[in-house]
Structure 1
Amino acid sequence: MHFQHPPHAEMKLVSCVRGAVLDVAVDLRAGSATFLKWHAQELSAENRRALLIPEGFAHGFQALTSDCELIYLHSKPYIAGSEGALHAKDPALDIAWPLEITEMSERDQKHPYLTDQFAGLTP
């Protein structure tokens, strides 16, 4: 689950042009009524849906087919020093992934779980 810390927070528009994925956004905005809640949407070449992920949200997806291609449009450039991430299997997020997570990059496996110190993102 990836995001950019302010002031480099970005909005993303994600669509799937081949295959199918479950696309997930998690609200990380401090003080939000939906803080740490997630929303998921199946995106596929067949349903032609897209998901707009606002600034202050973490984003991740699970491939539902073996032949996925996604297109991301970002509102700001990527700044490596501003990247943040959460572990997709974090029980505090309790994301209902439809398939067992059997493959995850080594980098994503190292992302942290939330602690009580995480108060959210502020602009």
Structure 2
Amino acid sequence: MRGNHVILLALIAAHVRAQIKLGKKRADGSSELDHLRALEKSTGKTPPELEVPAIPAGSDYLLRVFMELHCSRPAGGMSISPILFSELLAYQQVFKVELSPFEVETIVFIDRAAIQEMTEK
């Protein structure tokens, strides 16, 4: 099972990183997605950056939990604060769900990949 977990983590992280890259603002204020779509329209060819890796079937709920926690993340001053385990615990209590250690590890991994992508120039 561990090998499958590593593959799942890599696939979800690739999806999250690609989505964040597409949302980044360019110097002109447009997003990378806007730029690539305009390029696609003008050339008739789809840039490879628009081909976002799909998330594995059945793991979309983990991405949803991550996004809910990500959107409620406290401001970290000069850097992006990671999602805390206390926030994961609070999420479980509020929504009356029990995340397995595998699910918590996956959400933490997604968060690390997201922070790394958001902080890259």
Give the TM-score normalised by structure 2.
Answer: 0.27
Per the normalisation by structure 1, the TM-score is 0.27
Q: Which has the higher helix share?
A: 2
User: Which has the larger share of strand?
Assistant: 1
Larger radius of gyration: 2
